[in-house]
Structure 1
Amino acid sequence: MKNKQLFIKIFILLSTYVNAQQYFGGHPLGQNWQIISSPAVRIIYPNGMNPEAERIARIINYIDQNNRRSVGDKKKQIDIVLQTQTTIPNGYVGLAPFRSEFYGTPPQSNLSLGSLNWLDVLSIHEYRHVLQNINAKNGIVNFFYYLGGESYWAVVNNLVLPNWYYEGDAVITETALSDAGRGRSPYFTLQQRALIAENIDYSYLKNRNGSYKDMLPNHYPLGYMMLTYLRNHYGNDVIADILKESTAFDGLIYPFSKAIKRHTKIKNTTKLYKKAWEEFKDKTQTQIENTELIPTTPLLKKLPKTITTYSYPIFLNDSTVIARKKSYNTTDELVKISKGKETKITSIGINNDDFLSYNDNLLAWTESTKNPRRGAQNYSDIILYDLKTNHKKRLTQSTRYFSPSISPDGSQIAIINISPSEEFNLCIINSKTGQIEKTFDNPKNNFLSRTAWTTDGKNIVTILKENGKLCLIKINIKNGEITELTPWTAHTIETPFVTQNKVYFNASYSGIDNIYSTDLLGSKQVKKETSVKVGAFQPSIEKNQLMFTEFSSKGFQISSQKIRQNNSFISYQEPNKMKQFKTVANQTEGGNILSNIDTTTTYNAKKYNGLFKGLKLHTWGIAPSPSVSSINLRAVNMLNDVALNFSSGINHNENNAIFYNGNIVVSRFYPEIKFSASKTNRQTIVENNVNPPYNILDFDETNLGLKIGIPLTWYKGNYITSFEPYIEGNQFILNNFKTVFNQKSFTAYNTGLTFSTYKRTALQNIGPRMGFAIDMSKKADFVNADNADQFNINTTLYLPGIYKNHNLRIRGAYQKEKLSNTYQFSDYYIYPRGYSAPLNDEFKSISFNYGMPLAYPDFGFAGLIYFKRIRANLFYDYGVGKLNNENIIKELKTQTYNSVGTEVLFDNVYFNVLPITVGIRYSHLLKESLLGNNSSGFQFILATNLSF
């Protein structure tokens, strides 16, 4: 059974690797859905979003017909669900099932996306993932698809194709098919350029698998760099051949590397990385050498040892600065820095945007909340902190407000309000009540981002996006008159800061993000204020000092310089004209398609109410194992709120017994409803009144069940809380082999609840520094508790350790189930380590665990295994078991079990894809067991990052 469980865990982990963004049953009840269809795509979208849905369909159909040369010609219609209730910008293409979701609310920061329309970017980028996956169905990949469905397709794709291929190729596509895209944004290569500026070189394996201690670019810029090198040197279409041959396993070992070698003579991906890195390094160093740098002064003289990000520094006075801070070992917090000393002011809760504003002793930012029942409906609320009273309050509840900027007198707050129907409005709200006092017209519904008041409180400065271009604008709060402050550009513009007669902001005009300024009168003449190696962001002014964040290999640090007095106005080229952003792909993939998209084609929109409609069988996999052979069928509907699962197989450890399991889960309604049926072989130990007093009982069990639960999850500050009460009824039908039950069927109930609340963790934290969890259940025969009765309770308390990354976990558990009961429920109790499950009618235990990191090796071998972290867990377990049988001796009626030991755990990545924690446990028994097997000593242990 252990072999089966390990196999299934690994397989499920791989098959869900690309599906992590899905929310089962995440949509609000009563959502009115529409659907449009074309040969390339079906789009399910909320009523009222028809123009956006048609735009997505037109872009995808255009690409499907015109832009396949560098990926392949295979076709398959994709289902896309357009989500508009979430405030978290994202999108994904998943396998098992093969579908996509677009999260429609754009990011407020223009740095992460650039000047393109959010849904346009998603359409190009995510449809490229569709084409990648479709064209990966070759040879062995296709064989596995027919063998097991889309889960097997996902597994093999992830084993063969590196994640940097998927994302690098998609970023190349979004850049090549537009005039902007992340490939033309210097912010996209920020981490790589910082490493080059400091002469730091990391290996391919380290870049591929990441690090707990060092700052590394993720797989997006890594893939963009490597694939751009391939296209520049070996032709734009070479990657299509590499994709086809590697997924056909033309070369069984390292097929992707071997396909690269056949087409380029580059030996493998490691060599490709080195060549691409050296070329990119040369270009970056040349850029730095040709840039006239302006010296800056760091606020903190000593760089932190741990990767740390400061953002939105604000002058309180000449000697005191307030800023946001987060690091690899701390979550977001507000800090005060004075004379080189840093003090924490307050923590900042869960959020997806680091904006911060200050005026009149008030600080404002946003934090995320969510609909407790619906994972795809969340909010962005305003938080205020009063520096005079040190009081923090949530000003708004269940709103969709972004970029709050406090007016000079502190009475009002300018915000960007984005409705679920994707209407973008600049609004003013009352800082005491949170109520909207004024909404400004936006007749073209152009996207707005970031806000800042003029010092006289008469105008608001914000950033406007239209037709893939950005412009800094000023809006008069009395009459709504708009003044354009900068020329329209595809360069990124971000974070305005207003002084008496100027507005400072960061932009990418030179190919490096720097601070610029322009006047408030609308001359549109721009001056360059900083000139740094890597990037300068988020300006703040105090007298003659310009303060900003500057990026380095240790994260975003706070720097300053004197304000320049006689700097001249700049001229600049658009990103698509700049030499540093010209690549083979950008010149030959097809060029900007967004101005060529047909706007006349209309689609027949239909109402979509499907519950079981669109239920799609996506997995039919055979799961081989030395102990169990089975076939598994899985289906889900288009809205991901109805799932059907069935499995059948042979248990070789139980005399080749045949088993069947099936269930259907409906999560559209407020309660989640699960119907289940199973037939399986069971083996339990039961008490009798003869010698020996216990019998091993084998029997067949058929179980028909109905479960109703209400899964709830919500955020409050830094805590994530989940609660699910449930009740379940089961009809058991028993066919006994060796002993005759008093009854051959009975009806049982299972009622209980799970509750947990955890403080979110930083990257390096071993576990939550605060938290509590409880799982309680009562199972019993409706009629006769002596026939079947089990009570369980498990609790866990999380506490901070001595250091930030240490963790103390205390677990208590209790179980009661009499061995004299005719029927025994499955035993999932966690007994003290070093002991096998002892005979008991009642068991209680407590466990102390202290976890700590030992080392961050960042070392790997041949793409097979990569060691990211080594950690230790010191434990002490204590348990007491009781037996109530009168026929056994007194000494056996109450037994104590206690052990101490150490676990050394290795957080590794296997095959550059699969994160699995393995380790060695040493258990020392402080008392030998008389009723179970003792297994003190060394033991191999395994755990994945998923809970099963």
Structure 2
Amino acid sequence: DGTCNLCRIDATNGKLILKLKNANNYFITHPKYIDAHTAVAAVRNRQGNMMLMKINLQTGSMNDLTVFSYNVIGYPFVKGDTIYFNIMNENADKVFAYTMTNKKLYRVTQNSNGMYAPSVNDKGDLVVSAFNAQGYRIAKITAGQQEWALNKFRLAASDRYFTDSMSTFAATGAIYTLNDSNFEQRPTGSIKNEVTRYRKALHLFNFHSWRPVIDDPEFGYTLYSDNVLSSVNSNITYTYNRTDKSHTIGFAGAYAGWFPVLGVSAEASFNRNIDTAVGKTVSYNAAKARAGLYIPLRFVGGLTNKFLNVGGGYNLEQYYYRGVGKNIFNNKAVQYMDAFLSFSNVSQQARQHINPRWAQALSFNYRKAFGDFSRSHKFVANSAFYFPGLLVNHSLVLNVAYQYRDSFPDLFSKIFSYSRGYEALSTRRMYKLGANYHFPIVYPDWGFANILYFQRIRGNAFFDYTGAKARVNNNLTEIRNRSTGAEIYFDTKVWNALPVSFGVRFSHLLDTDLLHPSVKNRWEIIIPVGFIPN
């Protein structure tokens, strides 16, 4: 109901014993017992000012211990007749002390960085949580090192030991100087400025952040933009496809004023390849435009987070063939539709867990061409299932993928996750089974120069099995590409804040790579994943 009260609860059964009255409706924080009948707390009034208050636990009456100010107060600690607490003073959170016997206020520390949660032992030594360039640490200030400076706070709220930091800012309190003469009288009431309709087309592009694209086999970076109303979302993206070694630059925008969401996009791709299904590939560039609709849904409730996204669109793509392809293919435009559905069901994840203990992720994608390429189509399904491992922080991940397409040259990009270590094929029918076992190796908990912090080193043992049908030397052949190996990941934080994971992969090929028959073992650098936290 908008009120704030100090309550006493029975710790054995949780029942309310006492609810004290709060006539001024102060917001009460960090209450601490002084004795069985009184407590001390930091309180805030409706104007946002704070003070230290003594509260009678029987009657609810309150006595001021300091004056109201905009300086933030908190973490009171009672030792004998002295109350230690935090307060913002001269641009730093410092420790002050109030003696109840003689009702005097002292500044105990003169620190440049914040000191919080003071506590005092029987020797008078002060222990605080102190902030520095490396983060927070526990610091002890002996009784002889403390600088107790008397503050005559009853004389003026602007005393230099108790300066109201907010009062030093320009225009502080300007709103309190307004009166009726500052407002224009209208039939609808008093207004300061005329109310006008906000132009929805104003500032449609407002780029505010960037992040990597991690969607194996595609990796890249994206710049994000949102207008003030959050009704127009747009982004500019660069991606690299590790499977077909292509590069793409694109723009995408979405209008959320309707439902389903309307989306448009345009992109240019370079160095893409066509698999001719006879052991040859043709290189080309492409330009693409798309318009579509999609319905993003999030299901709230239960023990897991569930997401469903379904949609489709119309695509127009122009190909520009390179090399010998110019003599084989015409630079015709390709028109096709695409439809997709993705679903994920993810349990809550503890900080030390590498992956969620229980999760399922499914995605389905279908593309169908029109016109001169009407016989071209491709269906790809990918899935991942997460299970707990043998130990508490271990994780087992099973992957299943399936692809079905026409037997003509592949016009569509490769989104089938192939067995690791092989040069990926794109045949008429393919399926993949994969198993991954993730486990922590060591927690270095070490960093240097506040630049890079090593939080964890973890490993992953994997096995991939891909089965495919392809035409080799004009004969339809069953292909089996199996690989096994291990990955080592380094979970770090750049500038002690931004999570970055990178690693190394070793793959041992159990079968022959058709495109690189002599390769049996392969080392790879794993591109950073998890670059931006959820």
**1:167-246 alignment to 2 at 5 Å?**
none
Distance 1:477 1:749 in 2: 71
- The change in CA–CA distance for 1:672 and 1:526 in structure 2 (over 3 A counts) is farther
Answer yes or no: is 1:488 the counterpart of 2:78.
Answer: no
Please point out which of 417, 434, 437 is paired with 1:849: 437
1:463 is the counterpart of 2:43: yes
Equivalent runs, 1:156-175 vs 2, <5 Å: none
The letter of the residue matching 1:667 is A
* Matching residue of 1:749: 338
CA 1:362–1:673: 2 relative to 1, 3 Å: farther
Give the residue type in structure 1 aligned to 2:316.
Answer: F
Which residue type is aligned with residue 761 of structure 1?
A
Distance in 1, Cα, partners of 2:416 & 2:247: 26
Q: Is the 8 A contact 1:760 1:768 kept in 2?
A: yes
**CA drift at 1:512:** 6.3
User: Which structure has greater strand proportion?
Assistant: 2
1:778 matched residue in structure 2: 365
Residue 700 of structure 1: CA displacement? 4.1
Unaligned runs of 5+ in 1: 1-104, 109-354, 364-405, 415-425, 428-439, 540-548, 558-569, 622-631
Residue among 520, 524, 534 paired with 1:939: 524
Match of 2:504 among 916, 920, 923: 920
Equivalent residues of 2:401, 2:417 under 8 A apart: no
Q: CA deviation at 1:842?
A: 1.2
Structure 1 SS opposite 2:17: coil
**Counterpart of 2:53?**
472
TM-score by length of structure 1 reads: 0.39
Instruction: Quote the sequence identity (%).
Output: 11
The answer as to whether partners of 2:355 and 2:386 remain within 8 angstroms in 1 is no
- CA distance in 2 between counterparts of 1:928 and 1:485 reads 82
Residue aligning to 2:233: 643
Distance 1:634 1:926, change over 3 A: closer
State whether structure 2 residue 243 is matched by structure 1 residue 667: no
Matches within 5 A, 1:6-405: 358-359=9-10, 361-362=12-13
Q: Which amino acid aligns with 2:386?
A: L
In structure 2, the CA distance between the partners of 1:702 and 1:556, relative to structure 1 (3 Å rule), is closer
| Cα distance in structure 2, aligned partners of 1:469 and 1:360 | 29
- Given that residues 460 and 477 in structure 1 are in contact (C-alpha distance below 8 angstroms), is that contact kept between their aligned partners in structure 2? no
Amino acid across the alignment from 1:463? V
Equivalent of 1:407 in 16, 19, 28? 16
Indicate which of 872, 896, 913 corresponds to 2:458: 872
Partner of 1:282: none
Correspondence for 2:381: 792
Where does residue 145 of structure 2 map in the other structure?
Answer: none
Distance in structure 2 (CA, Å) of the matches to 1:919 and 1:356:
53
What is the Cα deviation at residue 857 of structure 1?
6.5
The higher-RCO structure (CA 8 Å, 6+ apart) is 1
Distance 2:460 2:249 in 1: 41
Alignment partner, residue 276 of structure 1: none
Distance 1:745 1:855 in 2: 52
Looking at structure 2, the residues matched to 517 and 796 of structure 1 have their Cα atoms a distance apart, in angstroms, of 61
Equivalent runs, 1:577-616 vs 2, <5 Å: 577=159, 591=168, 593=170, 597=174, 599-600=177-178, 603-604=192-193, 606-607=195-196, 609-616=198-205
CA distance in 1, matches of 2:361, 2:48: 52
The whole-number CA distance in structure 2 between the counterparts of 1:937 and 1:537 is 56
Query: Is 2:423 aligned against 1:813?
Result: no
Q: How far off its partner does 1:536 sit?
A: 4.7
Q: Which amino acid letter does the alignment assign opposite residue 204 of structure 2?
A: L
Q: For residue 925 of structure 1, report the CA deviation from its aligned partner.
A: 2.8
Asked if structure 1 preserves the Cα contact closer than 8 Å seen for 2:362 and 2:382, the reply is: yes
The question of whether the paired residues in 2 share the 8 Å contact of 1:536 and 1:550 is answered with: yes
How far apart are 1:710 and its partner, in Å? 1.5
C-alpha deviation, 1:832, in angstroms: 2.7
Could you say which residue in structure 1 is the equivalent of 2:218?
Answer: none
Tell me the residue number matched to 2:85: 507
Asked if structure 2 preserves the Cα contact closer than 8 Å seen for 1:634 and 1:645, the reply is: yes
CA contact (8 A) 2:346 2:356 kept: no
Change (3 A) 1:665 1:935: farther
Offset of residue 877 of structure 1? 2.0
Shift of 1:881: 1.7
**After superposition, what is the alpha-carbon deviation per residue over 1:175-216, rounded to whole angstroms, capped at 9, x for unaligned?**
xxxxxxxxxxxxxxxxxxxxxxxxxxxxxxxxxxxxxxxxxx
Two-structure CA RMSD over aligned residues (Å): 5.7
Please point out which of 827, 831, 845 is paired with 2:414.
827
Give the superposition deviation at 1:826. 1.4
Following superposition, the deviation at residue 724 of structure 1 comes to 3.3
1:905 aligns with 2:490: yes
Alignment of 1:759 onto 2:340: no
Partner amino acid for 2:12?
N
Matched, 1:705 2:277: no
**1:665 maps to amino acid:** A
Contact 1:633 1:646 in 2 (8 A): yes
Query: Per the alignment, do residues 851 and 665 of structure 1 end up closer, same or farther by CA in structure 2, a change over 3 Å counting?
Result: same
Q: How far did residue 639 of structure 1 move?
A: 3.1
Contact 1:799-1:809 at 8 Å conserved across structures: yes
In structure 1, distance between residues paired with 2:253 and 2:387? 35
Is the Cα contact below 8 Å between 1:514 and 1:537 reproduced in 2?
Answer: no
CA separation of 1:766 and 1:888: change in aligned 2, threshold 3 A: farther
| d(CA) in 1 for partners of 2:58, 2:199 | 46
Task: For 2:506, give the aligned amino acid.
Answer: Y
Larger displacement relative to structure 2 (595-604 or 869-878): 595-604
CA distance in 2 between partners of 1:361 and 1:593 (Å): 52
Which whole-Å CA distance do the structure 2 matches of 1:844 and 1:729 have between them?
Answer: 27
Q: 1:798 to 1:633 in 2, by over 3 A?
A: closer
User: 2:264 aligned with 1:685, yes or no?
Assistant: no
Structure number having the greater helix percentage: 1
Aligned residue type for 1:919: G
Residue matched to 1:229: none
Aligned length: 454
Distance 1:884 1:781 in 2: 21
Give the C-alpha shift of residue 685 in structure 1.
1.0
1:725 maps to 2:309: yes
Which letter maps to 2:86?
S
Aligned mates of 2:86, 2:225 — CA distance in 1: 47
Query: Closer, same or farther in 2 for the Cα pair 1:728/1:607, shift >3 Å?
Result: farther
Q: 1:486–1:524: 8 Å Cα contact kept in structure 2?
A: no
CA shift, 1:769, in A, is 5.0
1:909, 1:919 → 2: CA distance? 15
Task: Find the aligned partners of 1:494 and 1:673 in 2 and give their Cα distance.
Answer: 49
Cα distance 1:884–1:633, how it changes in 2: closer, same or farther (>3 A)? Answer: closer
Letter in structure 2 aligned against 1:611: K
Pairs within 5 Å for 1:516-527: none
**1 CA distance for matches of 2:81 and 2:336?**
73
How far the C-alpha of 1:780 sits from its partner, in A, is 3.0
Distance 1:408 1:869 in 2: 46
SS of match in other structure, 1:463 = strand
Q: Which runs of 5+ in 2 are unaligned?
A: 121-126, 139-148, 184-191, 211-221
* CA 463–591 in structure 1, closer or farther in 2 if over 3 Å, else same: closer
Deviation string, structure 1 residues 392-426 (Cα, Å, up to 9, x no partner): xxxxxxxxxxxxxx6217xx8x9xxxxxxxxxxx9
What SS does structure 1 have at the residue aligned with 2:531?
Answer: coil
Is the contact made by 1:517 and 1:526 (CA closer than 8 Å) also made in structure 2? yes
Query: How much has 1:736 moved relative to structure 2?
Result: 7.2
Counterpart CA distance in 2 for 1:473 and 1:792 is 65
